């Protein structure tokens, strides 16, 4: 699938993987809506990209705001072709027995409910047109417990199951749905992990992390039929063969 002139919405687009992804799709010729709560940041990135980008302030934990963001995107560029569910939180980095319930719940609201809200808002029109791609930025934490990350692991595991459920219901209706597990990426989240000193991930050196441009380029590749074998599951960027197929090595 060539993404030239395709309409793409990226959540959590103000920094890290999300910002790199917006730029990667724009570089590939797509029309991109950058969605985030941090409006100053997405406004600046959209201005940098130019006329094929718009910035939309949105909290993905609010379904009404997600619906409105997609409506603004379609009003500007036309029907949504690709949804990238990237917005995510890690807090609290704390042992489960000591975690703040409100902070724990906020991560579920963003990482799990936010993914559901994006799917719920985008899928009816995609199903109606018999076309569309939805990719959620997943994690190795979706598949195994990590000390101090109970909210993150639980939310990512739930989002992975949402990917499987959505694929189960929509693949035969023409909608492509999958996830990307990027591994550890050199973003601000890794700085927070490092500062926490909790679990082995915090002991990694900055040079151990891949640049955000790698998952961004992989997400563009995943919109092609070359990635169809991964529908309903996660693509792992730790896999050297995937890196080769994307052209990262």
pLDDT digit string, tens, across residues 45-63: 999 999 999 999 999 999 9
Which pLDDT does position 102 carry in this prediction? 97
pLDDT digit string, tens, across residues 226-242: 999 999 999 999 999 99
DSSP 15: S
With 60 as the cut, is the pLDDT of residue 1 above it? Answer: no
- Please state the three-class secondary structure of 201-230 as a single string: HHHCCHHHCECCHHHHHHHHHCCCHHHHHH
DSSP characters over 49-84: H-TTEEEEE--TT-HHHHHHHHHHHHHHHSS--EEE
pTM over 0.85: yes
Q: What domains lie within the chain, and their CATH numbers?
A: 7-246 (3.40.50.720)
Mean pLDDT over 66-87 rounds to 98
Give catalytic residues, as residue numbers.
Answer: 152
Mean pLDDT over 164-171 rounds to 98
């Amino acid at each position: 699938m060539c993404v030239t002139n395709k309409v793409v919405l990226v959540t959590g687009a103000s920094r890290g993987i999300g910002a790199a992804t917006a730029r990667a799709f724009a570089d590939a010729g797509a029309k991109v809506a950058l969605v985030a709560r941090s409006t100053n940041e997405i406004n600046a990135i959209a201005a940098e990209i130019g006329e094929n980008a718009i910035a939309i302030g949105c909290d993905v934990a609010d379904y009404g705001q997600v619906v409105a963001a997609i409506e603004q995107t379609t009003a500007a560029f036309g029907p949504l072709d690709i949804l990238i569910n990237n917005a995510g939180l890690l807090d609290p980095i704390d042992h489960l027995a000591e975690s703040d319930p409100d902070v724990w719940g906020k991560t579920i609201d963003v990482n799990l409910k936010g993914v559901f809200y994006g799917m719920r808002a985008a899928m009816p029109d995609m199903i109606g047109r018999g076309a569309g791609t939805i990719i959620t930025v997943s994690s190795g934490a979706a598949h195994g417990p990590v000390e101090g990350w109970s909210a993150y692991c639980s939310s990512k595991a739930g989002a992975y199951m949402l990917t499987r459920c959505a694929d189960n219901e929509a693949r035969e209706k023409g909608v492509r749905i999958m996830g990307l597990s990027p591994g550890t990426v050199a973003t601000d989240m890794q700085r927070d992990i490092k500062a926490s000193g909790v679990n082995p991930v915090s002991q990694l050196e900055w040079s151990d992390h891949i640049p955000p441009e790698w998952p961004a380029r992989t997400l563009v590749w995943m919109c092609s039929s070359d990635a169809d074998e991964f529908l309903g599951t996660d693509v792992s960027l730790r896999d050297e063969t995937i890196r080769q197929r994307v052209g990262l090595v």
